[in-house]
Structure 1
């Protein structure tokens, strides 16, 4: 590392402007962007001494054009000690880190025949499943299409098919649908912004509690 150049700014916008100007002004590499705290951001570049000095001057000038109060400090360290880079700076510049990231390995496709066999249910299980769903399917008043399930449909399903069957039905819903369904209840156990943060298991448990108390 021949030289180290740093500019500290207030706010992300000023830091982006300074980084852009620094990289355009001279042959330097972007080494690090650090969020110090309190809105302060430090941009660090490296390169030969002359290039880093020109780069820092250009970055500082770009920030002051936006607002002089946005430039907190600027500094150039010529020929920093090797241990400095090892202790406080990343060993690889930001621009080169993406190149070093390994490509994700693709999982091999399972054998087609094995997959088809796994997807075919056993005859006994199929018959049992049909028996369990028969009461709900034979009743035209019950809606079991989870994509169009609303509170009124859930109330009717609990009343006619039982709570366990109703919970089993909405278990097929995605968590987004369960959250939308929960918002239709006035006295649901999870309310407000907490609904958006609740996972599927928490929502199903609250539905069970809600109807158990009815």
Structure 2
């Protein structure tokens, strides 16, 4: 059973790491999870431990974040219900990942060029035959000239 959980929101990843490090050094807590928000660069650091340790850790984390002007909010929940953990800390899937199907790209001379994933990996053209993956330069997309 979990005695208490604490949540602190911080602006920026570097500040969140510094705050989490400070909290772990100050009190006997476990860092349960970190979660990044959809916008503004906010990071939520979630900790667990007894109520006094979580309070001390969040106070120290708040002071560290205030010095770098990255503090947003904090909250301590003593003796949380189990429903909190099923919603905000979903258990990792224990099922093994399905293998990705592959298919050959064949040139007109019937020579296989390479193996690619059957799913579309290019976020520009969404073509499963495109070898570009998200993060690669746009010029690597086979439809780059068509998009101009």
Question: 2:37 — aligned with what?
Answer: 36
Q: Please give the per-residue CA displacement for 1:64-97, whole angstroms capped at 9, x wherever unaligned.
A: 1212xx11101111111121112221348xxxxx
TM superposition shift of 1:195:
2.8
| Whole-angstrom CA distance in 2 between matches of 1:7 and 1:195 | 41
SS of 2:80 mapped into structure 1: coil
Alignment of 1:31-180 (within 5 A): 31-38=32-39, 39-67=41-69, 70-91=70-91
User: Which segments of 5 or more consecutive residues in structure 1 lack a partner in the other structure?
Assistant: 93-99, 103-163, 173-192, 207-214
**Greater fraction helix:** 1
Residue of structure 2 equivalent to 1:24: 25
Q: Deviations over 1:49-69 (max 9, x none)?
A: 1111111111111111212xx
RMSD of aligned alpha carbons: 2.8
1: CA distance between counterparts of 2:68 and 2:8?
15
Question: Match of 1:157?
Answer: none
1:2 and 1:59 map into 2 onto residues whose CA distance is 19
Greater fraction of residues in strand: 2
- Which whole-Å CA distance do the structure 1 matches of 2:90 and 2:25 have between them? 22
TM-score (norm 2): 0.61
Which contiguous aligned blocks of 4+ residues in structure 1 show a shift greater than 3 angstroms? none
CA distance in 2, matches of 1:14, 1:60: 11
For 2:5 and 2:25, locate their aligned partners in 1 and report how far apart those are by CA, in whole Å: 17
